[in-house]
Amino acid sequence: MKEIGIIGLGRMGLGIGRRLLSKGWTVYGHDKRETALSRAEEEGIEVFDDLSFMLGSFSDRRIVWIMVPHGAVESVIRELKAELVEGDIVIDGGNSYYEDSVRRFNELSRMGVSFLDVGVSGGVLGERNGYCLMVGGEEKTFREVEDLFKDLAYEGEGYAYLGPSGSGHFAKMVHNGIEYAFMEAIGEGFELLKESNYDFDLKEVARLYSRGSIIRSHLMELTEKALEDFGDLEELEPFVADSGEGRWVVQTAVRLGVPLWVISDSLFARFRSQQGNSFRDRLLSALRYEFGRHPIKKKDG
């Protein structure tokens, strides 16, 4: 019997659960939020508001998949430790820092519990298309649950064992850094198209770039969809959040002495977008006035 318990039934956790249901798995789910439990139950997942009850529902070896924000993983594992027994398998499918994953692997290993760190890419579309899964931990444990990854993966092959503990989340960290850079390049290129003297239909350009060009990609397809969904984007605030992975990849590059100009710049561009009232820009404006009496704009009033 293929059984799995998922802790965290948000968009990604619920999508993983539904995909596994479609592959013949029995899926148990736990979440602190009543709304998440109700939604998952409607989809056919057997839900529990009590973690002990969920773990007690397994008929065989227990596989527990954690799918919560990286800041909540520690508390989830702390709660799990009181319930885990030798032979259990814990999988962290969130975006945890790889050094934390190594530490968690060592802590759980001392209990006889196996731990895999799995970077998951594919977003909300992964439920339908399959995910890209980057697996770190003991290869023996990976082989024991390989069917799980095969059922979740894109075309049944979008997964790989990458090495010892931490390697899965390290690979996902780098993946997200590359994603930052791709997105920044797309944003800059389309801004240049918009500001040119040509009246480009940006959605049409995105569609064209996605059809056979060298830069075709899933992100370019999503650019086309974004321009379809939000038109000229005027309704959106120019604020781009950054997640832990972008910062971690740059910090790791500094520690290892690896130059990451493009990825670093894309992270700093996100920081810049978060400055609603940039002191730097106000200072630059004042400096231009002081040395050249260039015009300055003052706030109304």
pLDDT tens string 222-266:
999 999 999 888 888 888 888 889 999 999 999 999 999 999 999
- Rounded Cα distance between 199 and 21, Å, is 48
Q: Which of 3, 43, 144, 179 is catalytic?
A: 179
Residues 177 and 125 in one domain: no
Q: Is residue 300 over pLDDT 70?
A: no
Q: What is the pLDDT of residue 86?
A: 95
Q: Cβ contacts of residue 25 below 8 Å, gap of 6+?
A: 2, 3, 4, 148, 151
In the listed set 112, 138, 164, which residue is the last one of a domain according to the structure?
Answer: 164
Within-domain flag for 285: no
**Final residue in a domain of this structure, among 129, 164, 199:** 164
Q: Point out which residues pair with 115 in neighbouring strands.
A: 90
Choice among 145-154, 170-179, 217-226, 235-244 with the minimum mean pLDDT: 235-244
Q: Does residue 274 sit in the same domain as residue 178? A: yes
Q: Yes or no: say if 135 and 118 are a contact pair by the CB < 8 Å rule.
A: yes
Q: Identify the sign of the CA torsion 58, 61, 67, 72.
A: positive
Is there a domain that residue 81 lies in? Answer: yes
CATH number, domain with residue 24: 3.40.50.720
Q: Are residues 126 and 192 in the same domain?
A: no
CA–CA distances in Å: residue 199 to residues 20, 192, 193, 203: 47, 12, 8, 12
- 93-145 confidence digits (pLDDT tens): 999 999 999 999 999 999 999 999 999 999 888 999 999 999 999 999 999 99
> Would you say residue 188 lies in a domain?
yes
**192/144 same-domain check:** no
Q: How far is CA 21 from CA 17, 65, 293, in A?
A: 6, 14, 68
As a whole number, mean pLDDT of residues 167-180 equals: 96
pLDDT for res 85? 95
Contact residues for 101 (Cβ-Cβ < 8 A; gap 6+): 92, 115, 117, 136, 165, 166, 168, 169
53: in domain: yes
pLDDT tens digits for 262-294? 999 999 989 888 887 777 777 778 877 777 777
Domain hosting residue 233, numbered range: 172-280
- Alpha carbon distance 254, 260 (integer Å): 9
| Distance between CA atoms of residues 274 and 258, nearest Å | 27
59-93 pLDDT tens trace: 988 999 999 999 999 999 999 999 999 999 999 99
Q: Is the pLDDT of residue 301 over 70?
A: no
Verify that 129 and 79 share a domain, yes or no.
yes
Token pair in block for residue 10: 């948000």
Total domains in the fold of the chain? 2
Is 172 designated active site? yes
Residue 151 confidence (pLDDT)? 98
Q: Are residues 9 and 70 in the same domain?
A: yes
Whether residue 144 sits in one domain with residue 7: yes
Q: Which of 139, 164, 189 is the last residue of a domain?
A: 164
pTM over 0.75, yes/no: yes
Are 222 and 88 found together in one domain?
no
Set 172, 184, 224, 245: catalytic member: 172
CATH code, 269: 1.10.1040.10
Q: What is the pLDDT of residue 241?
A: 82
* Beta strand pairing call for 89-92 and 114-121: parallel
